């Protein structure tokens, strides 16, 4: 069931005399999970391509490492890379939260702010400045991060149709001005799900590309119907791409590492390993270095370009599968009822991990193609668009400065 929870709209920091003039142009941040940059070149997404052509697009956007959903969504909305935002993986353990394992399927963990409190999502900064937020799903929004939720949020429900998600966002735009969100998100998950199930080059994935494009069309049409097409800024991103995988390309870890030597935190593309007491030397001797289809490092010795490995939640040893490979155990494989034909989590410099960035609206110039940038660079842009002071972050605003209309045009409401 959809929960739309309007929380109190009054309190410290609230702009009590809200008028159109005192509010920034509403911003809708759309995340299309698993939308690889190359998918835009398939001729299947006319709406996205038209928005890119008449607005701004990046040649591609580099995801943060590891190229997984939770770490990257939190990086986008906080401007901090996973090693600093605390969401270092989709599955995590933390000695300071001893009785809980973080996983997308563990609702208690997802809603426990302790996992998220290392960073400040933009909706919290907006709230402190008296702006409202409407979050149509985003990792982190279900927990009272630093004490509060966004004004409107929903418990993640994968069954909730994309059309309903779009219509909920459109509904927020016509709320009375004193309740209307300035920051909205829209999260679409079907490309990731289909990419995993059938692979990134499947007919099924191509069919889903048309459908997700139609959802963006529905949003744009909804804006036009409401006379808002020049009064809303759209920023469309993805969190990572997708690589084709195969049952022929599996590293069986338990054939290399004896089970009693270490505990595996999670299998998949990036596997975290914690040696059992007294076993560290043995585990390191077996694992560290290059293997035929993966490479393993101590967390302190990861390549610097990953910007990863200092957070206490990062396991002591990490093994990263080569392009198109995955790391598994025999029992983990046997428990799966379907072998995923697409995966992500690879090196964030892998071309198939590249994400998209498209921006359109009164703040943005037309026909601009930006050189590649890191996804943490988006956060200072989002803060700027809302007239908010960005929290300390890993992003570089200058990377996206070329996207904007000259100052003065960018942040005024134009109806
Ligand atoms: P992954 O492909 O493992 O990186 O994770 C992607 C999946 O995470 C999506 O297909 C969603 O089902 C799930 N997901 C996304 N957002 C949330 C959320 N807020 N709470 C729980 N699960 C989520
Ligand atoms: Zn994802
Ligand atoms: Zn995924």
Six-digit token string for 368: 């601009």
Ligand 3 centre from 196 Cα, in Å?
A: 6
The dihedral sign for the CA sequence 102, 108, 110, 116: negative
Ligand 1 centre from 35 Cα, in Å?
A: 14
88, 82 contact by CB (below 8 A): yes
Ligand 1 centre from 165 Cα, in Å?
A: 15
Predicted confidence (pLDDT) at residue 14 exceeds the cutoff of 90: no
**Closest-CA residue to 146 (of 313, 391, 330, 335):** 391
Ligand 1 pocket test target in 110, 156, 239, 242 with most atoms within 8 Å of CB: 156
Residue 242 CA neighbour count, 13 Å, CB half = 27
Does the bond joining 49 to the residue before it have cis omega, within 30 degrees of 0? Answer: no
Ligand 2 centre from 33 Cα, in Å?
A: 4
Task: Give the per-residue pLDDT at 6.
Answer: 37
Cα 56 to Cα 49, 75, 140, 197, 381: the distances in Å are 10, 21, 28, 31, 13
pLDDT tier, 20 (very low <50, low <70, confident <90, very high otherwise): confident
Nearest CA to ligand 1 atom 7: 69
State in Å, rounded, how far the first CA of the chain is from the last one: 36
Q: Which atom in ligand 1 lies closest to the alpha carbon of residue 189?
A: 10
The response to whether residue 193 sits with its C-beta less than 6 Å from ligand 1 reads yes
Would you identify the CATH topology of the domain 250-339? Gyrase A; domain 2 (3.30.1360)
Ligand 1 centre from 291 Cα, in Å?
A: 30
Summarize pLDDT for 352-401 with one digit per residue, the tens: 999 999 999 999 999 999 999 999 999 999 999 999 999 999 999 999 98
Summarize pLDDT for 29-41 with one digit per residue, the tens: 999 999 999 999 9
Where are the CATH 3.40.720.10 domain residues in the chain?
Answer: 24-243+349-401
Tell me if residue 45 is catalytic.
no
Task: Give the per-residue pLDDT at 18.
Answer: 61
Ligand 1 centre from 157 Cα, in Å?
A: 10
Summarize pLDDT for 187-219 with one digit per residue, the tens: 999 999 999 999 999 999 999 999 999 999 999
Where are the CATH 3.30.1360.180 domain residues in the chain?
Answer: 250-339
Task: Give the per-residue pLDDT at 45.
Answer: 98
- The one catalytic residue in 69, 194, 245, 271 is 69
- DSSP secondary structure string, 89-136? -SSB--TTSTT--B-TT-HHHHT-GGGTTTS--HHHHHHHTT--EEEE
pLDDT tier, 7 (very low <50, low <70, confident <90, very high otherwise): very low
The response to whether residue 137 sits with its C-beta less than 6 Å from ligand 1 reads yes
Task: Give the per-residue pLDDT at 4.
Answer: 42
Nearest CA to ligand 1 atom 1: 69
- Looking at the CA of 143, which ligand is closest? 1
Task: Give the per-residue pLDDT at 54.
Answer: 97
Ligand 1 centre from 413 Cα, in Å?
A: 34
The response to whether residue 189 sits with its C-beta less than 6 Å from ligand 1 reads yes
The response to whether residue 103 sits with its C-beta less than 6 Å from ligand 1 reads no
Task: Give the per-residue pLDDT at 5.
Answer: 39
More confident residue, 12 or 284: 284
The response to whether residue 156 sits with its C-beta less than 6 Å from ligand 1 reads yes
Average pLDDT over residues 53-62: 98
The response to whether residue 104 sits with its C-beta less than 6 Å from ligand 1 reads yes
Average pLDDT over residues 331-353: 95
pLDDT tier, 17 (very low <50, low <70, confident <90, very high otherwise): low
DSSP 3-state of 170: helix
Ligand 3 centre from 33 Cα, in Å?
A: 7
- Looking at the CA of 138, which ligand is closest? 1
pLDDT tier, 351 (very low <50, low <70, confident <90, very high otherwise): very high
Summarize pLDDT for 82-101 with one digit per residue, the tens: 999 999 999 999 999 999 99
More confident residue, 336 or 218: 218
pTM, two decimal places: 0.94
Assign domain 24-243+349-401 to its CATH architecture. Answer: 3-Layer(aba) Sandwich (3.40)
Summarize pLDDT for 135-161 with one digit per residue, the tens: 999 999 999 999 999 999 999 999 999
Ligand 1 pocket test target in 189, 190, 193, 243 with most atoms within 8 Å of CB: 189
Average pLDDT over residues 47-71: 98
Indicate the average pLDDT of the chain.
94
pLDDT tier, 21 (very low <50, low <70, confident <90, very high otherwise): confident
Predicted confidence (pLDDT) at residue 415 exceeds the cutoff of 90: no
The β-bridge relationship of strands 368-370 and 56-58 is parallel
The response to whether residue 158 sits with its C-beta less than 6 Å from ligand 1 reads yes
The response to whether residue 139 sits with its C-beta less than 6 Å from ligand 1 reads yes
Ligand 1 pocket test target in 30, 31, 33 with most atoms within 8 Å of CB: 33
Ligand 1 pocket test target in 65, 150, 158 with most atoms within 8 Å of CB: 158
The response to whether residue 68 sits with its C-beta less than 6 Å from ligand 1 reads yes
**Closest-CA residue to 138 (of 187, 91, 180, 184):** 187
Cα 335 to Cα 68, 196, 270: the distances in Å are 22, 17, 19
Nearest CA to ligand 1 atom 11: 189
Average pLDDT over residues 219-234: 97
Q: pLDDT exceeding 70 applies to what percent of the chain?
A: 93
């Amino acid at each position: 069931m959809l929960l739309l929870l309007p929380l109190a709209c009054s309190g410290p920091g609230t702009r009590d005399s809200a008028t159109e003039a005192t509010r920034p142009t509403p911003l809708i941040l759309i995340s299309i999970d698993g939308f690889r940059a190359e998918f835009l070149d398939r001729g299947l997404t006319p709406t996205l391509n038209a928005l890119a052509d008449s607005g701004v697009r990046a040649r591609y956007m580099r995801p943060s490492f590891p190229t997984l959903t939770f770490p990257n969504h939190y990086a986008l909305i906080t401007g901090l890379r996973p090693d600093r935002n605390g969401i270092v993986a989709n599955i995590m353990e933390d000695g300071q939260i001893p009785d809980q394992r973080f996983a997308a399927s563990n609702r208690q963990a997802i809603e426990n702010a302790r996992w998220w409190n290392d960073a400040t999502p933009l909706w919290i900064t907006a709230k402190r400045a008296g702006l409202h937020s409407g979050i149509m799903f985003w990792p982190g929004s279900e927990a009272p991060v630093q004490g509060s939720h966004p004004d409107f949020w929903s418990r993640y429900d994968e069954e909730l149709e994309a059309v309903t998600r779009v219509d909920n966002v459109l509904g927020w735009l016509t709320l009375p001005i004193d309740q209307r969100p300035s920051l909205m998100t829209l999260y679409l998950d079907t490309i990731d799900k289909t990419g995993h199930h059938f692979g990134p080059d499947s007919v099924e994935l191509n069919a889903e590309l048309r459908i997700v494009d139609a959802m963006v069309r529905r949003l744009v049409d909804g804006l036009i119907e409401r006379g808002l097409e020049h009064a809303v800024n759209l920023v469309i991103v993805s969190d990572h791409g997708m690589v084709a995988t195969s049952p022929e390309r599996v590293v069986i870890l338990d054939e290399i590492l004896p089970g009693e030597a270490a505990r595996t935190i999670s299998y998949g593309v990036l596997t975290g390993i914690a040696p059992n007491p007294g076993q560290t030397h043995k585990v390191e001797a077996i694992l560290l270095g290059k293997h035929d289809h993966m490479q393993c490092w101590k967390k302190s010795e990861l390549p610097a370009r990953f910007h990863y490995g200092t957070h206490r939640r990062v396991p002591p040893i990490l093994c990263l599968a080569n392009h198109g490979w995955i790391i598994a155990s025999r029992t983990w494989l046997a428990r799966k009822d379907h072998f995923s034909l697409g995966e992500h989590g690879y090196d964030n410099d892998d071309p198939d991990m590249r994400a998209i960035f498209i921006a359109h609206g009164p703040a943005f110039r037309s026909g601009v193609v930006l050189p590649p940038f890191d996804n943490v660079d988006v956060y200072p842009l989002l803060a700027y668009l809302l007239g908010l002071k960005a929290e300390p972050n890993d992003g570089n605003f200058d990377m996206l400065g070329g996207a904007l209309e000259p100052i003065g045009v960018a942040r005024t409401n134009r109806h």
